[in-house]
Amino acid sequence: MTGRHALVREAVVQCANLGRHYGSGVSRVDALVDANLEISVGELVVVRGPSGSGKTTLLNLLGGLDTPSTGQVYIGEREITAAAEAELVEVRRHEIGYIFQNFALLPVLSAAENIDLPLRIAGVPPRERDERVRELLALVGLADHPNQRPDELSGGQQQRLGIARALANRPRLLIADEPTGQLDSVNAEAMMSLIASLVHDQGVAAIVSTHDPRMAAHADRVIEIRDGRLSPASPSSGRRGRPAAS
């Protein structure tokens, strides 16, 4: 692809002319149309749009969970849209962390065990796993709750556990599809703030979708999506657009 090596910053994820439609003929739905986007190391991008605008479609394509109708997705130098299934599994396991709106925690496992699971699957040795689990629990403010099961944690704590799990294998890209959708406004605000600080401290790239305009305040860059089409948000959105005194 031309131009990729001319980038000054390191693009973690990039898509070109990405499109996805469902159905055909009169029932065809263009869920995503000609999307072009790149996200750099340590950059938090928020995708904002109403329900049905194509946010989940975009995130699933970027995360290798769905196959596009047109275009390409690159994670680093690798085109995942051309990757074999086995390679894709490796990319999903090691390079991408997913945070889900409904938390998607395993109810029978403790907080520590939920974080440990992806490390186990990746074949990390036990001692290293224990250390990483402790580190992650502390990182998201759950150091005092290692043995509690998800249903013994608050909604905000469950979502923080979801973040810790997503970060377990040190992904380069964090994908969060409406991570604040199940939270009240105080917890939602705390969640976006935590995601932003983790992205900046750990140097991962992140893309977070939301239908809540207020969540954009923590973003480095805000993108609007309407009827499957991306456009940059107005300059007043996101951290870069805020007055220095605020």
57 binds ligand ADP (CB under 6 A): yes
Q: Which is nearer to ligand ADP, 27 or 246 (CB)?
A: 27
56 binds Mg ion (CB under 5 A): yes
237 binds Mg ion (CB under 5 A): no
Pick one of ligand ADP, Mg ion, none as the site partner of residue 185 (Cβ within 5 to 8 A by kind).
none
Number of residues that bind Mg ion (CB under 5 A): 2
Pick one of Mg ion, ligand ADP, none as the site partner of residue 51 (Cβ within 5 to 8 A by kind).
ligand ADP
Pick one of Mg ion, ligand ADP, none as the site partner of residue 52 (Cβ within 5 to 8 A by kind).
ligand ADP
Amino acid identity, residue 75? Answer: I
56 binds ligand ADP (CB under 6 A): yes
CA distance 169 to 127: 15
Pairing status of strand 70-75 against strand 11-22? antiparallel
221 - beta bridge partners?
45
232 binds ligand ADP (CB under 6 A): no
In the complex, least distance from residue 101 CB atom to Mg ion, rounded to whole angstroms: 8
Q: Which is nearer to ligand ADP, 158 or 210 (CB)?
A: 210
| Piece in contact with ligand ADP (CB under 6 A), picked from 50-58, 121-129, 151-159, 216-224 | 50-58
Q: Tell me the chain's radius of gyration from C-alpha atoms.
A: 18
Where in the chain does DSSP place strands (E)?
11-22, 29-40, 44-48, 70-75, 78-79, 96-99, 173-177, 205-210, 221-226, 229-232
Three-state DSSP state, 7:
coil
Alpha carbon 121 to chain centroid, angstroms: 20
Residue 53's nearest CA partner among 230, 220, 176 is 230
54 binds ligand ADP (CB under 6 A): yes
60 binds Mg ion (CB under 5 A): no
List b or e across 161-172, with b for residues whose CB sees 16 or more CB atoms inside 10 angstroms: bbbbbbbbbebb
183, two tokens = 């939270």
213 binds ligand ADP (CB under 6 A): no
One character per residue 6-35, x = contact with ligand ADP (rule: CB under 6 A): ----------------x------x-x----
Interface residue list for Mg ion (CB under 5 A): 55-56
Binding site for ligand ADP (CB under 6 A): 22, 29, 31, 49, 51-57
